Amino acid sequence: MKRVFYTLTALAALTAAAQEKPATPREPGHKDRNSFNQMYDLLATPNMFRTASGAPGPAYYQQQADYKMDIELDDKNTKLYGTETITYTNNAPEALEYLWVQLDQNENAADSPSKLIESQNMDPAYTAQGFLKRYAEKEFDGGFKLEYVKDAAGKPMKYTVNQTMMRIDLPTPLKHGEKVSFSIKWWYNINNYQIVGGRSGYEHFDADNNNLYVIAQFYPRMAVYNDVEGWQHMQFWGGGEFALTFGNFEVNITTPADHVLDGTGVLQNRKDVFTPEQVKRWELATKTYDKPVVIVTQEEATTTEKGFSDKKKTWKLKAENVRDFAFSSSRKFIYDAMAVKLNDKSVMAISLYPKEANPLWGDSSTRLVAHTLKTYSKYTFDYPYPKAISVSAADQGMEYPMICWNFGRPDEKGFVSDPIKWGNAGVIIHEVGHNFFPMIVNSDERQWTWMDEGLNSFLEYLTEQEWDAKFPSRRGPADKIVPYMSGDQKFLEPIMTNSESIHQFGNNAYAKPAAGLNILREVIMGHDLFDHAFKTYAHRWKFKHPTPEDFFRTMEDASAVDLDWFWRGWFYSTDYVDLSIKEVKQYSVTDVKPEGLKEVNIRKGRFGKETGPFVYMAPDNPDANKADKKAFNRAEVKMLKEYIDEKFTAEEKAALREPKFFYEVTFEKLGGLPMPVIAQLTYEDGTTETQTFPVQLWRKENTTAKRVIATGKKVVMIQLDPKLLTADIDVENNAWPRAAGPDKFDQLKDKK
Amino acid sequence: MKNALRYILLVTLTLSLTSAGVHKYYVAVFQMEHKPEKKTIQITGRIFIDDLEKTLNAKYGKTFYLATTKELPETTNTVKQYLLDKITVRVNGKSAPVTFLAKEVDDDILVCYLTVPAPKKVTSIEVRNTVLQEMFREQQNMINTKVSNERKSLLLTHDTPSGTVTF
Residue A5, pLDDT score: 54
Domain-ending residue, one of A447, A479, A504: A447
Residue A605, pLDDT score: 87
The answer to the question of residue A11 being in a domain is: no
Kindly identify which residue of chain B lies nearest to residue A194, measuring between CA atoms. B14
Count how many domains chain A has: 3
Q: Taking a contact as any Cβ pair under 8 Å apart, which residues of chain A between 435 and 474 contact chain B?
A: 449, 472, 474
Judge whether A254 and A319 are in contact, CB under 8 Å: no
The answer to the question of residue A136 being in a domain is: yes
List, as one string, the DSSP characters of B58-87. Answer: HHHSS---TTSTT--TTHHHHHHHHHHHHE
Distance CA A405, CA A357 (A): 13
Residues of A in contact with B21 (CB under 8 A): 199, 239, 241, 398, 449
Position A600 pLDDT exceeds 90: no
CA angle A393, A394, A398 (to 5 degrees): 55
Residue A199 and residue B19: Cβ atoms within 8 Å? yes
Residue A21, pLDDT score: 66
Tell me the pLDDT tens digit for each residue of B80-106.
Answer: 999 999 999 999 999 999 999 999 998
> Pick from B21, B53, B158: which is nearest to A199 by CB?
B21
A479 and A554 belong to one structural domain: yes
Q: Residue A152 phi/psi, 5° resolution? A: -65, -25
**Segment of A161-165, A192-196, B153-157 carrying the highest mean pLDDT:** A161-165
Distance CA A235, CA A109 (A): 14
Report how far apart, in Å, the C-alpha atoms of A718 and of each of A237, A586, A667, B75 are: 51, 13, 11, 42
Distance CA A436, CA A543 (A): 10
Residue A395 and residue B142: Cβ atoms within 8 Å? no
Q: Residue A647 phi/psi, 5° resolution? A: -100, -15
Distance CA A504, CA A487 (A): 11
Residues of B in contact with A127 (CB under 8 A): 5, 8-9
A148: helix, strand or coil: strand
For residue A491, the domain's CATH number is: 1.10.390.10
Position A333 pLDDT exceeds 90: yes
**CA-CA-CA-CA torsion sign (A698, A699, A701, A707):** negative
A426 and A565 belong to one structural domain: no
The verdict on whether omega for the bond into residue A438 sits within 30 degrees of 0, i.e. cis, is: yes
A436 and A515 belong to one structural domain: no
The answer to the question of residue A439 being in a domain is: yes
Residue A483 and residue B16: Cβ atoms within 8 Å? no
Residue A420 and residue B50: Cβ atoms within 8 Å? yes
Tell me the pLDDT tens digit for each residue of B47-57.
Answer: 999 899 999 99
> CB of B153 within 8 Å of any CB in chain A?
yes
Tell me the pLDDT tens digit for each residue of A575-589.
Answer: 999 999 999 999 999
The answer to the question of residue A377 being in a domain is: yes
Tell me the pLDDT tens digit for each residue of A38-50.
Answer: 999 999 999 999 9
Domain-ending residue, one of A515, A550, A575: A575
Count how many domains chain B has: 1
**For chain A, percent of residues with pLDDT exceeding 70:** 96
Complex ipTM value: 0.78
> CB of B163 within 8 Å of any CB in chain A?
no
CA distance B82 to chain A (A): 19
DSSP conformation class of A521: I
> Pick from B18, B29, B158: which is nearest to A483 by CB?
B29
Distance CA A736, CA A4 (A): 59
A559 and A642 belong to one structural domain: no
Residue B117, pLDDT score: 96
List, as one string, the DSSP characters of A190-234. Answer: PPBTTTT--SSEEEEETTTTEEEEEE-S-S-EEPPEETTTEE---
Distance CA A158, CA A149 (A): 8
pTM for the structure as a whole: 0.91
CA distance A407 to chain B (A): 9
Residue B21, pLDDT score: 40
The answer to the question of residue A35 being in a domain is: no
Tell me the pLDDT tens digit for each residue of A199-210.
Answer: 999 999 999 999
Domain-ending residue, one of A411, A431, A447: A447
Residues of A in contact with B42 (CB under 8 A): 745
Position A490 pLDDT exceeds 80: yes
Distance CA A229, CA A215 (A): 28
A681 and A560 belong to one structural domain: no
A731 and A628 belong to one structural domain: yes
CA angle A153, A156, A157 (to 5 degrees): 100
Judge whether A569 and A35 are in contact, CB under 8 Å: yes
Strands (E), A264-396: 266-267, 293-296, 312-322, 327-330, 334-341, 346-353, 387-392
Distance CA A466, CA A196 (A): 37
Q: pLDDT class for A8, splitting at 50, 70, 90?
A: low
- Domain range holding A146? 65-117+126-447
A534 and A631 belong to one structural domain: no
Residue B108 and residue A423: Cβ atoms within 8 Å? yes
> CB of A503 within 8 Å of any CB in chain B?
yes
Position A418 pLDDT exceeds 90: no
CB-side neighbour CA atoms (13 Å) of A515: 29
Q: Residue A178 phi/psi, 5° resolution? A: -90, 160
Mean pLDDT of chain A: 93
Distance CA A135, CA A733 (A): 54
A622 and A739 belong to one structural domain: yes
List, as one string, the DSSP characters of B92-108. Answer: TTEEE--EEEEEEEETT
Residue A239, pLDDT score: 83
A726 and A664 belong to one structural domain: yes
CA distance B24 to chain A (A): 7
Question: With helix as H, strand as E and coil as C, how does A51-68 read?
Answer: CCCCCECCCCCCCEEEEE
Judge whether A513 and A494 are in contact, CB under 8 Å: no
Nearest to A393, CA basis, from B56, B133, B22, B19: B22
The answer to the question of residue A13 being in a domain is: no
Position B17 pLDDT exceeds 50: no
Tell me the pLDDT tens digit for each residue of A249-283.
Answer: 999 999 999 999 999 999 999 999 999 999 999 99
List, as one string, the DSSP characters of A603-639. Answer: EETTTEE------EEEEPPTTS-GGGPPPP-GGGSHH
Nearest to A467, CA basis, from A382, A368, A533: A368
| Chains A–B, number of C-beta pairs less than 8 Å apart | 147
Decide which of A137 and A222 is more confident: A222
DSSP conformation class of A108: G
Judge whether A690 and A678 are in contact, CB under 8 Å: yes
Position A338 pLDDT exceeds 90: yes
For residue A254, the domain's CATH number is: 2.60.40.1730
Residue A364, pLDDT score: 97
A549 and A639 belong to one structural domain: no
A153 and A223 belong to one structural domain: yes
- Domain range holding B77? 2-166
Distance CA A243, CA A65 (A): 13
A196 and A317 belong to one structural domain: yes
Residue B6 and residue A411: Cβ atoms within 8 Å? no
Q: Taking a contact as any Cβ pair under 8 Å apart, which residues of chain A between 391 and 410 contact chain B?
A: 394-398, 407
H runs (alpha helix) in chain B:
2-17, 49-60, 75-86
Q: pLDDT class for B8, splitting at 50, 70, 90?
A: very low
The answer to the question of residue A324 being in a domain is: yes
Nearest to A167, CA basis, from A229, A248, A243, A222: A222
Q: pLDDT class for B18, splitting at 50, 70, 90?
A: very low
Cβ-based neighbours of A639, under 8 Å, separated by 6 or more? A591, A613, A615
Nearest to A294, CA basis, from A308, A306, A310, A282: A282
Residues of A in contact with B12 (CB under 8 A): 130
Judge whether A149 and A120 are in contact, CB under 8 Å: no
Judge whether B107 and A472 are in contact, CB under 8 Å: yes
Residues of B in contact with A120 (CB under 8 A): 159
